[in-house]
Amino acid sequence: MTSVSFTAQRDGTSSAAVVVFVGEGGQLSAGAQAVEAATGGQLGKAMKAANFTGKKGKVLEILAPSGMVANRVLLAGIGDATKADARTFEDLGGEVAAKVQTLEPEVVADFSGIADLAVGTDVAAAHFAHGLELRNWRMDTYRTKLKDEQKPKLASVVLAGAPPAAKALSERLQKVAAGVAFTKELVTEPANVIYPESFVERVKKAVEPLGVKVTVLDEKDLAKLGAGSLLGVAQGSVRPARLIAMEWNGTGNPDAVPLALVGKGVTFDTGGISLKPGPGMEDMKWDMGGAGAVAGIMVALAGRKAKARVVGVCGLVENMPDGNAQRPGDIVTSMSGQTVEILNTDAEGRLVLNDCMTWTQRTYKPKVMLDFATLTGAVIISLAHHYAGVFGNSDALWAKLDAAGKAVNDLVWRQPLSEPGGHYDQMIDSTIADMKNVSGREGGSITAAQFLQRYVDEGVEWAHIDIAGAVWRPKAGPLHDKGATGFGVRLIDQLVADHFES
């Protein structure tokens, strides 16, 4: 993790990269004015030459500035100061990290004299550091031939001139960043490293020291419970299935009703007998992204000691096509007693989730339940990689998720869903069992959600979050490189902070 520290004023004898802020029209902050004076007007000249006007999100780099020990100065544009919010500074922190990650061990961001922002300077500074830390994550575990100039160097950020209140907020955000990093780690690891048993061990190692209670069910336990739907997916693999439940209770009340989170953990998905095409199949190591998100959320909430009771349940399987794999046409009996006709073994995530949802509701009696899953390619066709699709039975819960997503830029978009017996629901009726696991190409994300809705107990507010397009992105963004995004951790941390903490 990137260390964050504070100082009353910038140390002019440091060689660290210096970040100063510029508003719309080239308005220099007090810190930028000090650098302008020290360099004999070099900032103004560089801004003019580069046509840099302080536009929001733009960063101008000046190398080896005269009159300074610093190796480089970065001018960070905040645009209209009165509209510069937490997101503005997060994105700038991420942009700075991307520029200097392999070049500088330390960044000093000078917040001296910044005023009239849309948020307090303490919030701006803390979120700048948060954005830098999120973007600075990368995994080099398996890269053995990196040259020195390719290796990451950035290890710390110093916030100069930030108000004292920034420290507590920054410490909270660092715990959230740890959760995001853990999710990225799990999602990025290859399937020969992260499989059901090793996922459990890595998660236990991460959450138990934080005070999270962990319960693990093996394949024998699941068989006794009648989890035929989940176990049917796992039966084609030599990797046995697992269910892991993580419980954090920061309320002080052992009887507090928990918020329940359920994650799809298909650690590798070949499609089973309904085999996927070969090209791109390597991406299916991240088909456990829902479980990865739930684990990261628990790290974040327990790390910052959220005053809420939250349980995270992950169903963990590997979907393989061996001689013992389930076949199209098979019928399985889920833990709820409902039967499912398997028409496509590649529609396996919903088969894992339904038993996890049933067990979660029986065990914890939640009033609100959210599930996270890289469930359908169809949601990527609908929303690309910009939003996760949300389906649910509660307008109020949707509104809370939407607001939380906009606050942290984990964006969600609501999709349609029928009431039980409605037109979309009828599409998954089977002629031989209670339901079938696929309906056809039309409305694929919707019918997957309809399937899950049949496992939601009466009176439970529920939302299904299809993160297939959001968990892994083909291009870098402000707060992540190409690859794992850590989507969902900040979304639910914000939701909990807004609505579930006492």
Structural domain boundaries of the chain? 3-163, 176-499
Burial class of residue 61, CB neighbours in 10 A (0-12, 13-18, 19+): middle
In DSSP terms, 319 is beta-bridged to: 269
**Predicted pLDDT at 11:** 86
Give residue 24's pLDDT.
95
Q: Which amino acid is at 416?
A: P
- Please give the sequence-ordered ranges of beta strands (E in DSSP) within 218-308, or none if there are none: 242-249, 259-269
CATH architecture of 3-163: 3-Layer(aba) Sandwich (3.40)
In the CATH hierarchy, which top-level class contains the domain 176-499?
alpha beta
Per-run averaged pLDDT (10 residues), the chain, 502 residues: 93 91 96 96 97 97 95 97 97 98 97 94 98 97 95 97 96 98 98 98 98 98 98 98 98 97 98 97 97 98 98 98 97 98 98 98 98 97 96 98 97 96 96 96 96 98 98 95 98 98 87
350 is catalytic: yes
CA angle 413, 417, 422 (to 5 degrees): 170
Which entry of 276, 307, 406, 414 is annotated as an active-site residue? 276
Confirm whether 224 is a catalytic residue.
no
Helix (H) or strand (E) holding 332: strand 331-333
The reported pLDDT for the residue numbered 248 is: 98
Whether residue 425 contacts residue 450, with contact meaning beta carbons closer than 8 Å, is answered with yes
The pLDDT assigned to 1 comes to: 86
Instruction: Say what the pLDDT of residue 269 is.
Output: 98
Q: Which residue type sits at 171?
A: E
How many CB atoms are closer than 10 A to CB 474?
Answer: 8
State residue 74's pLDDT score. Answer: 98
Query: Residue 284: what pLDDT?
Result: 97
Give the Cβ contact number of residue 30 at 10 Å: 15
Give, in order, the Cα–Cα distances in Å from 146 to each of 103, 140, 150, 453: 14, 9, 6, 48
Q: At what angle do helices 289-303 and 165-188 cross, to 10 degrees?
A: 150
pLDDT of residue 436: 98
Tell me the sheet residues that pair with 464. Answer: 371, 391
The verdict on pTM exceeding 0.95 is: yes
Residue of 56, 87, 99, 350 with catalytic role: 350
Give me the helix-helix angle, 165-188 and 489-499, nearest 10°.
Answer: 140
